[in-house]
């Protein structure tokens, strides 16, 4: 079993294992304990009281975080005709249809997000087995299959993230970079938690948000008491 490095262990030793932190304490702790030379991403993990095996308890959506995620997102757009120009004008990095499909079939995946107009989804479906496992397949439910290309590209460039509950009932999402500082990270986290809270399935009974943890790319997690969610959303 791999062992963590000395710096990781030093940070982890400072975390009280039985303590449940406030959001502010957790974010500040994660930011202050970042020890790598690169600008680490701050991630959130939320354990939900849902059973994703049931379609009516699937929690899936997207949100444009107030301060983005601190990453230059490369957006690929599948479109044709006037929509190609609209995509380019909106800032898309790659625009096309059959030409891009063939390039992707050849192994190219040099992009972070994919948008497509509804009229080309038949063609895009041919590379579903390539895009799907990477979480890149366009989906109308999260706004990436649309004729409003300018809006979709603009939101992705601004820091729109997609999230989906995993089999274990956990939702993972990036909340920004350590360099954002506590205030901006808290604003992103508040917006995300508010979105997830409002998406509670009507069929979900009992406690909805069971646990929350904040961590950086290379650091240990700070566990948050879900009781502080109400205070956060105020």
Reading the block at residue 58, the tokens are 């699937």
Domain boundaries, the chain: 16-69+160-233, 75-158
CA–CA dist 87, 109 (Å, integer) = 19
With 0-12 / 13-18 / 19 or more C-beta atoms within 10 angstroms meaning exposed / middle / buried, residue 22 is middle
| Same CATH fold assignment for domains 16-69+160-233 and 75-158 | no
Could you tell me which of 56, 68, 75 has the C-alpha nearest to residue 202? 56
User: Domain 16-69+160-233 adopts which CATH fold?
Assistant: Ribulose 1,5 Bisphosphate Carboxylase/Oxygenase (3.30.190)
pTM of the model: 0.81
Neighbours of 62 (CB within 10 A): 17
Give the β-pairing of 160-164 and 113-116. unpaired
Q: What is the pLDDT of residue 9?
A: 65
Reading the block at residue 51, the tokens are 């059973």
The tens digit of pLDDT for each residue in 93-118 reads: 999 999 999 999 999 999 999 999 99
DSSP string computed for the chain = -PPPPHHHHHHHHHS-TT--B-HHHHHHHHHHH--SSS-PEEEEEEEES--TTSGGG--EEEEE-TT--SS---EEEE--THHHHHHHHHT-SEEESHHHHHHHHTT----SEEEE-GGGHHHHGGGHHHHGGGT-S--GGGT-B-S-HHHHHHHHHHTEEEEE--TTSEEEEEEEEGGG-HHHHHHHHHHHHHHHHHT--TT--S-SEEEEEEEESSSPPEEE-GGGHHHHH-
Q: Which residues of the chain have pLDDT under 50?
A: 1
The tens digit of pLDDT for each residue in 157-177 reads: 998 998 999 999 999 999 999
Reading the block at residue 130, the tokens are 């390539």
75-158 under CATH 2.40.30.10, yes or no: no
Q: What is the pLDDT of residue 183?
A: 96
Q: What is the pLDDT of residue 6?
A: 65
Average pLDDT of the residues of the chain: 91
């Amino acid at each position: 079993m791999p062992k963590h490095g000395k710096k990781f262990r030093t940070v982890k030793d400072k975390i009280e294992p039985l303590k449940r932190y406030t959001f502010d304490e957790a974010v500040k702790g994660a930011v202050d304990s970042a020890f790598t030379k690169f600008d680490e991403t701050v991630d959130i993990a939320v354990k939900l009281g849902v059973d994703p095996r049931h379609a009516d308890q699937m929690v899936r959506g997207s949100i444009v975080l107030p301060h983005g995620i601190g990453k230059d997102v490369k957006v690929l757009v599948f479109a044709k005709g006037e929509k190609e120009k609209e995509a380019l004008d909106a800032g898309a990095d790659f625009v096309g249809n059959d030409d891009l499909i063939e390039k992707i079939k050849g192994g190219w995946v040099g992009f972070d997000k994919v948008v497509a107009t509804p009229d080309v989804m038949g063609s895009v479906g041919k590379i579903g087995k390539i895009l799907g496992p990477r979480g890149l397949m366009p989906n109308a439910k999260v706004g990436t299959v649309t004729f409003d290309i300018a809006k979709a590209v603009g939101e992705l460039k601004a820091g729109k993230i997609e999230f989906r509950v995993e089999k274990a009932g956990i939702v993972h999402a990036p909340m920004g970079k350590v360099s954002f500082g506590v205030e901006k990270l808290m604003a992103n986290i508040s917006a995300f938690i508010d979105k997830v809270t409002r998406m509670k399935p009507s069929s979900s009974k009992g406690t909805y948000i069971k646990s929350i943890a904040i961590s950086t790319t290379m650091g240990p997690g700070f566990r948050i008491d879900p009781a502080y969610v109400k205070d956060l959303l105020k």
